[in-house]
Amino acid sequence: MLLQTGGTIDHLGRDRLDLAFYTDTTTRVEGGLLARIPEVARFADVVERSLPLRGQALRPADWLALARDVAAIAASSEVAGVVITRGTNTLEETAYFLHLVLKTERPVVLTAAMRPASALSGDGDLNLLNAIRVAAAPQAAGKGVLVVMNDAILSAREALKTSTARLQAFQAPGYGPLGYADPDGTVQLAHAPLRAHTTATEFDLARIPTLPRVDVVLSYVGADGTHIEASVAAGARGIVSAGMGTGRGTAEEEAALERARAAGVAICQASRAGSGRVMRGPWLVRRGFVAAGDLAPWQARVLLALALTVTDDAERIQAMFDRY
């Protein structure tokens, strides 16, 4: 099953050299994406369904609706795997959310494009073909949600968009790909995720009518507690602090985070660095803060929001960050 949810992959620019400002148009591919790629029939029998989702306007309710749709599709004995197209701006967060909540062993693969469908040397058609090949591969079963971009097969937990425009934008910093969709038509998987996911998590879609508000606050030289206080005032149940370096904010930010924790808000300390772990040192333990480990701040936000649907105990939440 192919779920086409929108994004650059089905966008048409003004001409073949419109590689940057194609979103100013509203023109989309007509007749479905599969009509552009007859070669798909060599690898799988695919049913295409349109499920438009907002791009930058995506909301947690959209994630829940998408997850329920995918869960229902994956439950069918007639479906071997699911491919989802998504805009690259929200692909990594969407993939990690599905990685944590879906209860299926069947391959679920997200893909996208860095160039519009009308572009000279567009990447979307091959990305989609490769994603379908991976979803149809028996060895992809049980690996959790995967991201396939630019031939690479990435775990949803590790996949990050690292460039605004390059074809190799999606990487797994510190880990690398699980494998590749190779040019000879084979799917080569050399690694498997060790962190728990999908069927091994405690997150039950049937018990999550909504997701709690969790905000991300970025640290920088001279930052004070204004953004943190605003989040608390807005009703945030959790705050992810994207700290400097190994995960530290300014003195004013840390004081504001302590006040927020005292008010019952869950605090997760992450880093803006782009890779590497935030370790749960004594200063985090004393304050009752959770360490994000090597999750990017926006990934940590996804996990913290789901964790808060189960518990608000910092130690239990930390155990989830250590496990997932």
The rounded distance, in Å, linking the Cα atoms of 250 and 4 is 43
Q: Is 28 exposed, middle or buried (0-12, 13-18, 19+ CB in 10 A)?
A: middle
Main-chain dihedrals φ then ψ at residue 116, nearest 5 degrees: -70, 165
In angstroms, what CA-CA distances link 251 with 143, 232, 233? 42, 18, 20
Q: How far is CA 196 from the centre of its chain?
A: 16
* Closest to 88 (Cα-Cα) out of 168, 178, 189: 168
How far is CA 176 from each of CA 11, 68, 69, 145, rounded to the nearest angstrom? 29, 30, 30, 16
* Residues sharing a CB contact under 8 Å with residue 205, sequence separation 6 or more, in sequence order: 64, 67, 68, 71, 101, 103
Per-residue CA distances from 91 to 96, 112, 234, 299 (Å)? 9, 8, 26, 11
8 catalytic, yes or no? yes
Rounded-to-integer distance, Cα 215 and Cα 242, Å:
10
Question: Rounded to an integer, what distance in angstroms lies between the CA atom of residue 145 and that of residue 165?
Answer: 24
Largest CA distance in the chain: 60
Catalytic residue of the set 5, 8, 94, 201:
8
Amino acid residing at 278? V
Catalytic residues: 8
